[in-house]
Chain A
Amino acid sequence: MMELSIIWSILIAQIMLGLAMAFAFYRMVRGPRAQDRILGLDTLYINAMLMLLTFGIRTANSLYFESALIVALIGFVSSIAFGKFLMRGEIIE
């Protein structure tokens, strides 16, 4: 019983995160402006990181951790590159 509820609750969490990603995707594809798309991607990244964490909990294996850590620490680099591109037209001046 408990096993089932654990499984289900984590699965539900993952499905929710999947939905969150889907909504983020909506912004990525629909915009309407470039900044919306980039914000969408950023959200996608965050949710993906959360998905990785839930996956870690689900499997009780800590090997997912580096990926999550990299999203947390370095994932923002592509977003700021996008942001700078919007603002300045080039990302390294």
Chain B
Amino acid sequence: MEIILSAAIGVLTASGVYLLLRPRTYQVIIGLSLLSYAVNLFIFGMGRLRVNAPPVLEPGGVGDLSRFTDPVPQALVLTAIVIGFAMTALFLVVLLASRGFTGTDHVDGREQRHD
């Protein structure tokens, strides 16, 4: 499992980073989204991978790490998801505004000769 998830994180990161380096704002926003998947999975992975051990206790129960997966990274990922969503929205609107003002969807607000 670890190897698959690492590969997934790697590919998501690579795709995201590649898009971040591209000249079109839309590419960048897609890149940021892919990157945020990668980051979320990365954070998640920091709690180690467990199948069928969700950190949900029986009522009245006391949990320990031998039976349940680490809940902390999950809580962190939740926060990261929310913030990531907010930032995607923000970036989208900024890129729209930029496109509105400059007429182009180039990240620099003007067409460069070759990218």
For chain A, give the interface size range: under 10
Residues of B within 8 A of A61 (CB): 52, 54
Asked if A59 is an interface residue, CB under 8 A from chain B, the answer is: yes
For chain B, give the interface size range: under 10
Asked if B82 is an interface residue, CB under 8 A from chain A, the answer is: no
Interface residues of chain B: helix, strand, loop or mixed (majority)? loop
A63–B56 CA distance with the chains assembled, in angstroms: 9
B56 near A59 (CB under 8 angstroms)?
no
Interface residues of chain A: helix, strand, loop or mixed (majority)? helix
**30-55 of chain B: CB within 8 A of chain A:** 51-52, 54
Chain A: minimal CB distance from B27 (Å): 17
Over the window 64-75 of chain B, the binary record of Cβ atoms lying under 8 Å from chain A Cβ atoms (1 yes, 0 no) is: 000000000000
A36–B98 CA distance with the chains assembled, in angstroms: 31
Give the residue name and chain of the A residue nearest to B52 (CB).
Answer: A59
Residues of A within 8 A of B54 (CB): 61, 63
Chain A: minimal CB distance from B16 (Å): 18
Chain A: minimal CB distance from B44 (Å): 15
Residues of B within 8 A of A59 (CB): 51-52
